[in-house]
Amino acid sequence: MARTKIKDILKREDTGYPVNIKGWVRSFRNNQFIALNDGSCMSNLQVVIDLGADENLLRNITTGASLSIDGTVIASQGKGQRVEVKAEKVELLGACDAEKFPLQLKNRPSLEYLREIAHLRFRTNTFGAVFRVRHTLAFAVHKFFNDRGFVYLHTPIITSSDAEGAGEMFRVTTLNMDNPPHNEDGSINFKEDFFGRSTNLTVSGQLEAELGAMAFSDVYTFGPTFRSENSNTARHLAEFWMIEPEVAFNDIYDNMDLAEDFIRYVIAYAMEHSKEDLDFLATRLADEEKQKPQNERSEMGLVEKLEFVLNNKFERITYTQAVDILLDSPAYKKKKFQYDVKWGIDLQSEHERYLVEKHFKKPVIVTAYPKEIKAFYMRQNDDGKTVAAMDILVPGIGEMVGGSQREERLEKLEQRMNEMHIPTDEMYWYLDTRRYGAVPHAGFGLGFERMVQFVTGMTNIRDVIPFPRTPKNAEF
Ligand code: 4AD
Ligand code: MG
C-alpha cells in the first residue's frame, strides 16, 4: 500500500479508509497508544495497537524508533484527537537506542543543547516548525518574483571580486598551503592556482545580478553567501542565504516599494500556509517571554507582530534624521549607548534597535547614508555627501535589508572606485554595463535567515539555519 502522509489524513473529514503510514515514535503509552510523527506537519497521529501485540515488537516501540503501520483511519475513541489509526500490522523499520537517544530526555532540552545535536533537532516540535516555516518562506520568495516576471539568475559562488569591498572573504584555493608557489617578491603566485588567479567565496551576487538586469530588466538571486567577519552575535552567520533582486529603470523609491511589498508578501504567505507551525511558535515565544522580567517583555505576541507589519506602512527617514532622533533621545542623553552618535558614524545595532523598538515601534527604512560608510556602487546624491542607500530595520532584528540605487554614470562610478582603491581594470566587466546602454537601476539584499528569525520569533540566528557556520564552528 502506498504511504499516506499524516498531514493528509488529518486534513480529511471522512474516516473508515485503509492507510499505510510511516514515521517516528514521539511517545508510547500503556503499551497501546503510539504518537507517530512523519514531519509532514506539527501534529502527531495517534495509532492504537492491539494489546496482545508481540512482546519483542512492543519492547522496540520507543521514542525515536521508526515504524511502518497498516491500519484503518477511525473516529477517535478518546479525547485529544479527532481521528486515529487502528493498527492492523506494525513493522519496526529501525529501533532506537532508548538509553542513549538524546531526545528521550523528558524535561525540555534547551535551544543551546539542541544546537549541539543539530543532526537530531529536526525531530523536535520547535525545529520541525522552524524548518517547515523556512521552507514556506523560501517558496514564497520564488513565488513573489515569479508572479512578477523576474528571472531567477544563478550568480557564481566562487568569484574573484569583493562585491562589498569589505574584505571579509573566504579564500578558495587548491594550492598546497604547506608549500605554496611564490612570486619573486615573496607573495603567493596565484597564477598557479586552480583558476589561475586568486578566488574567494562570494559575499553577494549583486554585481553579477546587475549584469543580468541590463538584459532581463528584472532579475533576482537567492543563494548562499559567505562572510568571514568575526561577529559572534545572534544575527550573524559566516554562511547565510541572501535574496537579491535587481531592477533596471527602478530608482530608490521604487526600490523601497518593492522591498516593502516583498516583505509583506512573504509574511502573509507564511501566515496563510504555515498557520499550525506559527501558532506553535507563538505559544513557545509567549512562554519564553514569561521568563523575562516584566519591563523586558515585548508588547506584542508573534502573530500580532506579523499582523502589525502587514497592516502598517514602514516609516521612511533619512540617515540625517535618524542621527537627529538619536541625539535627541533620552538614551543618548543618559549615556545609555555604548557607541557615540554623530553625523558620519555607521549606525550600531543598539542605535538601529532604539529607532525601531523604542522610537518608531515599527519597521523603518533609512536612506541617504554618508558615502564614506557605504559601498562603491551606490548612486551619489547631489549633496556630494550622501548616497542613495536604503537599510530596512525591523524590531528584534535590526538590519534585515541593505540596498541602493546604483551609480549608473560611468565617470562618477570610476571616480568613486579610484577613491576607494577598487581596481577598475579588473572590474572592466562591471563598468561595461555603464558603457553599453546604461540605465538607472536599483536593488537590495535581504538576509534570508534574519527574515526567518523575524517570522518564527527565534532569537538566535543559529536556530533558523539547519547547520550554522559561525566562528570556530563548522560541525556537521
Ligand atoms: O547590507 P549587505 O551587506 O548588502 C549587500 O550585500 C548588497 N550587495 C545587497 C544588494 O544590494 N544586492 O547585506 C544584505 C543583507 C543584510 O541586510 C543582512 O540582512 C544580511 O544580508 N546579512 C547577514 N545575515 C546573516 N549573517 C551575516 N553575516 C550577514 N551579513 C549580511
Ligand atoms: Mg548592510
pLDDT of residue 166: 80
Helices (H) and strands (E) in the chain, counts: 14, 16
The three-point CA angle 47-84-124 to 5° equals 60
**Residue with cell string 530608490:** 252
Tell me the residues surrounding ligand 2 (ion) with CB < 5 Å. Answer: 402
Mean of all residue pLDDT scores within the chain: 95
Give which of 455, 411, 463 is closest to 138, Cα–Cα: 455
Grid coordinates representing 57 are 515488537
Q: Atom 4 of ligand 1 has which residue's CA nearest to it?
A: 402
Tell me the best of 201, 204, 211, 444 to mutate to test the pocket of ligand 1, counting ligand atoms within 8 Å of each CB and taking the most: 204
pLDDT of residue 105: 62
pLDDT tens for 102-131 read: 987 657 889 999 999 999 999 999 999 999
pLDDT tens for 168-186 read: 999 999 999 999 999 999 9
Whether pLDDT at 163 is above 90: no
pLDDT tens for 344-369 read: 999 999 999 999 999 999 999 999 99
Grid coordinates representing 27 are 511517545
Give residue 164's pLDDT band: very low, low, confident or very high (50, 70, 90): confident
Does residue 114's CB lie within 6 angstroms of at least one atom of ligand 1? Answer: no
Give which of 46, 35, 33, 41 is closest to 8, Cα–Cα: 41
Alpha-carbon distance of 178 to 159, in angstroms, equals 24
Does residue 352's CB lie within 6 angstroms of at least one atom of ligand 1? Answer: no
First to last CA, the chain: 35
Q: Is 407 exposed, middle or buried (0-12, 13-18, 19+ CB in 10 A)?
A: buried
Q: Is there a contact between 333 and 341 (Cβ–Cβ < 8 Å)?
A: no
Q: Is there a contact between 223 and 155 (Cβ–Cβ < 8 Å)?
A: yes
Tell which atom from ligand 1 comes closest to the C-alpha of 236: 26
Fold of 6-101: OB fold (Dihydrolipoamide Acetyltransferase, E2P) (2.40.50)
For 123-168+203-463, CATH gives 3.30.930.10
Residues of the chain with CATH 2.40.50.140: 6-101
Q: Atom 18 of ligand 1 has which residue's CA nearest to it?
A: 447
Q: How many CA atoms lie within 13 A of 30 on its CB side?
A: 8
Sheet bearing 441-447, strands edge to edge: 151-152, 218-226, 239-248, 441-447, 398-405, 386-394, 364-370, 315-318
Phi, psi values for residue 410, rounded to 5°: -50, -50
Grid coordinates representing 126 are 520547535
Give residue 310's pLDDT band: very low, low, confident or very high (50, 70, 90): very high
Alpha-carbon distance of 111 to 426, in angstroms, equals 46
Residues of the chain with CATH 3.30.930.10: 123-168+203-463
